[in-house]
Amino acid sequence: MIGQDIVYQTLDNLKIHFDYYESPRDFSSEDDGEFWQKIKATRCKNLFMRNHKGDRHFLIISDYYRNIDIRVLEQKFKKGKISFASQQRIDKHIKGTIGAISVFNLFNDTGSHVEVFIDETLKNKSRLTFLPNELNALLAIGFDDFIRILEYCGNKYEFLDLTGSF
């Protein structure tokens, strides 16, 4: 299976069921609505960001099709100016690749350094999809298992309305 070994080992240890899908493409440009309806899961967007000082890092998770305004996030987070993290920061904190970041990268964050912000609309979804820390594969897991992963990793997480104004 495509993906980092730590993803599959940890899911197995936690006894988390997942459905595995492969694609000749990387799912980043996948617009096949039939595919997403067939697997009956919500496609998730995962953004790895940092504050202006570079001493705090954030994983933002939302429905792929929701628009997220970084300026709104800055106001909601009250963490100062935020921007996308570089590959160097990804390598240091969550060991992944730009474009293939997901909740599973938290398995590599042994110090639970990364803060996680999740769009509150995901609370109403039964299944979520994430890349297994590499492109060309996709894992679908239940929402309750998503929460179990967050609890297992020990990272601080919070549900927020990640779009719109106050």
Confidence of residue 52 (pLDDT cuts 50, 70, 90): confident
Q: Is the pLDDT of residue 166 over 50?
A: no
Tell me what the pLDDT averaged over the chain comes to: 88
The CATH classification of domain 5-28+35-58+75-160, taken from the options 3.90.960.10, 1.10.3720.10, 3.40.50.1100, 3.40.50.960 = 3.90.960.10
Where are any strands of DSSP class E within 23-113? Answer: 42-51, 57-63, 82-84
Domain boundaries, the chain: 5-28+35-58+75-160
Residue 158: the pLDDT is 92
* Nearest-5° Cα angle at 84, 71 to 163: 35
Pairing of β 115-119 and β 57-63? parallel
Confidence of residue 143 (pLDDT cuts 50, 70, 90): very high
% of the chain surpassing 90 pLDDT: 55
Question: Residue 30 and residue 142: Cα distance in Å, rounded?
Answer: 21
Q: Is the pLDDT of residue 31 over 80?
A: no
Question: What is the reported pTM?
Answer: 0.89
